[in-house]
Chain A
């Protein structure tokens, strides 16, 4: 192969659309960071900022940047936590259930401890506020990613592990060549869910009230919050437009190409019939910048790192650490962890003691109200997603047309729509009490729909044909084929939807709109209220109640259904 001589002209000609996109993204990032910097230098605190639409691109970039950092944090956390849970048998027993609990704690409940912690490190500075916001977003993102990574790690086929061991790959190489690639598909899918969740809570993470003090960071979420606080419909719509544009762009430029590229890591040993293609991925593949980075920077760098870690591991080979020291280390670690857990429990308990009995009664009533709302939201969701999802899933033509549309519609965070929906609903009978059900529904129905579509698609074609030859009545068809076929997917969708609905209660039961607080009886409202008024005892009690409720329902209700579906319908 003859190399083409270097000249600006050939470079220009070789410059692909992918390069252009990358350069634009790069410039936007640099611009956003430098603007952030500019804004850090003016530490005055006001609860208002310029709502003119021309500022929207910059605000979008700010939010995107926060999201990016939060995602990086989630990713790092995922790797460390997942790795530890998968490879340390003893810690696994604590870490995995702990994850279950963490996942069921709503974002806002993390606010006071995070805020206190960060503020003590960065007193009186905007950086502290930024970090708080980023950590808040992180607390809504990380858990399901960890679950996915942990699960991938423990399900790596034995032969692949053995092959890696026999070829003498060190830990570093094993991570890059086996563990990360094997987890890639699940991790990406969960990353997309997490980031979508991040958009959902963006408004809550960029503008929050804590101990009767308002905090605000310029961004798309706070733009929407502020506009809705003022009841300013025009600006709500501007913000909404910007958010949708951002999400569609992100979907097209990042997620779509990534999910197409990540197919490469599918562990299947025969060629799949069709794989989703992305034009943008093709542009990236032809990109000069990326190929330069891959060939000249990342390649040599990874070689360097490989040999660095090999040398380190070589040094360690004469294993001097006797089992005694290993045991001691583990014991110390475990004691520390248990101590921390106990300390946490003790702290909670002493908080609880401060709470008057009447508050407990209120929590109980609120819990029932929220539970009823969540259940109705999931049921209403099922009512329309079940027939529609099955129809789409069993009609390939329909699926091809509707799938992309549904995906985009679903990716618009429901919280951003809340102000608009509220406008229409608030004057109806029942007020927020009923409207919040609709708000939860808006946020969680997609989990159901996507899972039902996936389930219906997985029903074997020949069984459907056999059913039509047997002239099964509609009811019999559903009972004997469709329902059993989608059942496992239905359970998965149900768990996710319910968890999501509980989390959404904090933004749908307590809303500030047009300068007024609109709230209803519910755990979510209680949590939001306790956060903003700084009532930590109430916040802790309500949070624990919610976490307990979610975990219990998962354990008692969903786990059983899940087991049933595994035994009966697979």
Chain B
């Protein structure tokens, strides 16, 4: 019997504008003794999966089966560590940890004993009476871990617990967790880790599930069979990371049933970041390994991927087997001066980004060359969710402003063509 099983989980959130699917038919299991990582970009619903497992969110379709029983309400066998710690600011470290036991109805002395033990275990002794605001980020997350571990859960849910910490602190805490795990110092039977860092997933997990976004689906499972402690510099490790990177950037190494993402959505990226990346890669002779690039820039996939995607959409670069290659246009773009670059960008954008062309046409055809923002918003809404439409229009305006395709007046909420812009009152 599997410790935990998710069957056909579909989750959707209701907004005033309508229902949006966040997770679509997610199936997986969790075995005793394993660390499972959920890896994916933001919007892939990975945190939502954790909340479904915890019983905080009810799925629209499907069920969670824990120890052979269908879950109803809060899962009694889990505890969770949160991205932003979720400590109660008015409680001391000890009281915060004790809070994990309050719901169980243990007598005060037992609570205190257990809490102190957990605090010791996670290396917080001496800070029992400090308030969270007096602690550094790393120490705060230790309190978060202590509060979760004191409940002695079967399954420990980790919701990007290291992403709010600086690099060294995160590394330190990761290693402490591994130590507790492999030396059996905690009665936890399994761990589920949500992360957007490929390296973190490969370093900690025995199995990695890759998620796509909008809506979240599981696209791939990767087994990590390296024993702990893993060497991040080893060939096997780097290969796994590289392979995962390729999978996530959407250019499969081999044939994978990879569902196409919605084609018309532009990533939320400023022109400046695109220019920066193109220039950087041009300096590296027009090609770069994506994973290495991310590492050099101290950027997560989460941050790098949208820029890569935008460069691809514009035809400035392409991704092959985890490598980022500049196209001819990309090279020209990198070598151009400021004005030429704008011109080139305008050309490419009008060619590749259909909505830009449409907006320009509409503006040209109006006699006063002015159209209210809401007009285009309504157009976009036919193809995407209202939030997406807002965001897409913002991106389009940003790109168009840079390329001097059209202008936007924020006060009047109007898009207009600059040549005929009437002077403001």
B392 to chain A, nearest CB (A): 21
What are the residues of chain A within 8 A of B91 when measuring CB–CB?
Answer: 177
What are the residues of chain B within 8 A of A173 when measuring CB–CB?
Answer: 102-103
Query: Which of B74, B105, B147 sits near A307, CB closer than 8 Å?
Result: B105
B54 to chain A, nearest CB (A): 6
Q: Please name the 4 residue pairs, one residue from A and one from B, whose CB atoms are nearest each other, closest first.
A: A168-B103, A159-B86, A163-B86, A265-B90
Query: Does A329 lie at the interface of the complex (its beta carbon under 8 Å from any beta carbon of B)?
Result: no
Query: Which of A167, A170, A266, A307 sits near B89, CB closer than 8 Å?
Result: A266
What are the residues of chain A within 8 A of B103 when measuring CB–CB?
Answer: 167-170, 173, 310
Once A166-B80, A168-B74, A177-B88 are accepted as A-B contacts, the answer to whether A271 and B105 lie under 8 Å apart by CB is no
A221 to chain B, nearest CB (A): 37
**Chain A: which residue is nearest B99 at the CB level?**
A167
Produce 1/0 per residue, A155-168, CB < 8 A to B: 00101101101111
Interface residues of B in 68-106 (CB under 8 A from A): 74, 76, 78-80, 82-91, 99-105
In angstroms, Cα B140 to Cα A269, docked, is: 10
Interface residues of B in 119-159 (CB under 8 A from A): 131-134, 140, 147, 151
Q: Which of A165, A306, A307 has the most CB of B within 10 A?
A: A165
Interface residues of B in 150-194 (CB under 8 A from A): 151
Q: Is B89 a contact of A267 with CB atoms below 8 Å?
A: yes
Q: Is A181 a contact of B88 with CB atoms below 8 Å?
A: yes
What are the residues of chain A within 8 A of B101 when measuring CB–CB?
Answer: 167
In angstroms, Cα B100 to Cα A166, docked, is: 8
What are the residues of chain B within 8 A of A427 when measuring CB–CB?
Answer: none
Once A265-B89, A265-B90, A271-B133 are accepted as A-B contacts, the answer to whether A167 and B108 lie under 8 Å apart by CB is no
B90 to chain A, nearest CB (A): 5
What are the residues of chain A within 8 A of B253 when measuring CB–CB?
Answer: none
Q: Is A166 a contact of B56 with CB atoms below 8 Å?
A: yes
Q: Is A268 a contact of B89 with CB atoms below 8 Å?
A: yes
What are the residues of chain B within 8 A of A265 when measuring CB–CB?
Answer: 89-90
Instruction: Tell me the B residues contacting A by CB distance below 8 Å.
Output: 51, 54, 56, 74, 76, 78-80, 82-91, 99-105, 107-108, 131-134, 140, 147, 151
What are the residues of chain B within 8 A of A159 when measuring CB–CB?
Answer: 82-86
In angstroms, Cα B132 to Cα A160, docked, is: 14
Query: Does A178 lie at the interface of the complex (its beta carbon under 8 Å from any beta carbon of B)?
Result: yes
What are the residues of chain A within 8 A of B85 when measuring CB–CB?
Answer: 159, 269
What are the residues of chain B within 8 A of A168 when measuring CB–CB?
Answer: 74, 76, 103-104
In angstroms, Cα B86 to Cα A162, docked, is: 8
What are the residues of chain A within 8 A of B78 when measuring CB–CB?
Answer: 166
What are the residues of chain B within 8 A of A276 when measuring CB–CB?
Answer: none
Query: Which of A157, A268, A307 sits near B133, CB closer than 8 Å?
Result: A268
> Could you jot down 23 A-B contacts, CB within 8 Å?
A157-B86, A159-B82, A159-B86, A162-B54, A163-B82, A163-B87, A165-B74, A166-B54, A166-B78, A167-B79, A168-B104, A169-B102, A169-B103, A173-B102, A177-B99, A264-B90, A266-B89, A269-B89, A270-B133, A303-B108, A306-B102, A307-B105, A310-B105
Interface of A is mostly: helix
**Chain B: which residue is nearest A178 at the CB level?**
B88
What are the residues of chain A within 8 A of B104 when measuring CB–CB?
Answer: 168
Once A271-B133, A271-B134 are accepted as A-B contacts, the answer to whether A162 and B79 lie under 8 Å apart by CB is no
What are the residues of chain B within 8 A of A167 when measuring CB–CB?
Answer: 79, 99-103, 147, 151
B96 to chain A, nearest CB (A): 9
In angstroms, Cα B90 to Cα A471, docked, is: 45
A160 to chain B, nearest CB (A): 5
Interface residues of A in 287-323 (CB under 8 A from B): 299, 303, 306-307, 310
What are the residues of chain B within 8 A of A306 when measuring CB–CB?
Answer: 102, 105
Q: Is A166 a contact of B74 with CB atoms below 8 Å?
A: yes
In angstroms, Cα B78 to Cα A182, docked, is: 25
A298 to chain B, nearest CB (A): 13
B205 to chain A, nearest CB (A): 22
What are the residues of chain B within 8 A of A270 when measuring CB–CB?
Answer: 133
In angstroms, Cα B102 to Cα A170, docked, is: 9
Q: Is B99 a contact of A162 with CB atoms below 8 Å?
A: no
A118 to chain B, nearest CB (A): 39
**Chain A: which residue is nearest B153 at the CB level?**
A166
**Chain A: which residue is nearest B151 at the CB level?**
A167
Known contacts A162-B51, A269-B133, then 16 further A-B pairs from the complex at CB < 8 Å, ordered by chain A residue:
A159-B82, A160-B88, A162-B80, A162-B86, A163-B87, A165-B54, A166-B56, A167-B103, A169-B102, A173-B103, A181-B90, A269-B85, A269-B89, A271-B134, A299-B108, A310-B105
A72 to chain B, nearest CB (A): 23
What are the residues of chain A within 8 A of B140 when measuring CB–CB?
Answer: 269
Q: Which of B100, B107, B140 has the most CB of A within 10 A?
A: B100
What are the residues of chain A within 8 A of B54 when measuring CB–CB?
Answer: 162, 165-166
Q: Is A162 a contact of B134 with CB atoms below 8 Å?
A: no
Q: Which of B83, B103, B140 has the most CB of A within 10 A?
A: B103
Query: Which of A162, A178, A264, A269 sits near B56, CB closer than 8 Å?
Result: A162
In angstroms, Cα B89 to Cα A181, docked, is: 9
In angstroms, Cα B100 to Cα A173, docked, is: 12
A338 to chain B, nearest CB (A): 24
B110 to chain A, nearest CB (A): 12
What are the residues of chain A within 8 A of B100 when measuring CB–CB?
Answer: 167
Interface residues of A in 179-212 (CB under 8 A from B): 181, 184
**Chain B: which residue is nearest A314 at the CB level?**
B105
In angstroms, Cα B86 to Cα A55, docked, is: 54
Produce 1/0 per residue, A256-278, CB < 8 A to B: 00000000111111110000000
What are the residues of chain B within 8 A of A162 when measuring CB–CB?
Answer: 51, 54, 56, 80, 82, 86
In angstroms, Cα B80 to Cα A159, docked, is: 10
Q: Which of A165, A167, A173, A265 has the most CB of B within 10 A?
A: A167
In angstroms, Cα B105 to Cα A306, docked, is: 8
Interface residues of A in 134-183 (CB under 8 A from B): 157, 159-160, 162-163, 165-170, 173, 177-178, 181
A267 to chain B, nearest CB (A): 5
Q: Is B79 a contact of A166 with CB atoms below 8 Å?
A: yes
In angstroms, Cα B281 to Cα A239, docked, is: 81
**Chain A: which residue is nearest B83 at the CB level?**
A159
